[in-house]
Chains A and B, each alone.
Chain A
Amino acid sequence: SQTIHQWPATLVQPVGSPLSLECTVEGTSNPNLYWYRQAAGRGLQLLFYSVGIGQISSEVPQNLSASRPQDRQFILSSKKLLLSDSGFYLCAWRPRPVTEAFFGQGTRLTVV
């Protein structure tokens, strides 16, 4: 069966520090991968999506970047965090052909 792992679960980082969140999927190949951010009490904002290794599409210009170095690995990064980067970050995957999305447990990031 397929599983998705996302870590860490919680993170407190100072302003200006770098960020690296990792997401891996097991039990499937060539999935579509997504990063979303959810501010407290708000909706899900699509940040990045990827349809293959090295293929990244950015939805919102911001302080973040994403990479997909392997088929089932999706990384969200920042060189210098801002206070406004705080939020709940969710990784998701969808099989091909695209159907429902499966989410990781999320990372709650607080920038202080």
Chain B
Amino acid sequence: GQQVMQIPQYQHVQEGEDFTTYCNSSTTLSNIQWYKQRPGGHPVFLIQLVKSGEVKKQKRLTFQFGEAKKNSSLHITATQTTDVGTYFCAANTGNQFYFGTGTSLTVIP
């Protein structure tokens, strides 16, 4: 299957610090999606990026799609305890839908 790698695997930050997770694909992507999974919960859709170099913002979250459409990033400014969870990028090849390895974020109050 398609390889979609994410780094880092884990990240611990003090509340108020920034956080970034990176997603890298071995192939060019038609689009990329981001999901958040709270501890014990199921993944919930955050956003989809389609265009090369696209940047989208949701409050403190900034999503970027690389110019070559092979990588993406999610940046959270001034983390809060409500940001705790695992963040996944996801990409599809036809009808197959693959998730990245995920980055688990812990926010220390």
Contact = CB atoms under 8 A, between A and B. Distances in A.
B59 to A, nearest CB: 19
Interface stretch (A13-21, A65-73, A78-86, A99-107): A99-107
15 contacts: A34-B97, A36-B99, A42-B102, A43-B88, A43-B100, A43-B101, A43-B102, A49-B95, A90-B42, A90-B43, A92-B97, A99-B48, A100-B45, A100-B48, A101-B33
B44 A103 contact: yes
B45 A101 contact: yes
A92 B44 CA distance: 11
A98 B102 contact: no
A46 B92 contact: no
Interface of B: 1, 6, 33, 35, 41-45, 48, 88, 90, 92, 95-102, 104
A79 B95 CA distance: 27
A36 B43 CA distance: 11
B97 A94 contact: yes
A106 B42 CA distance: 7
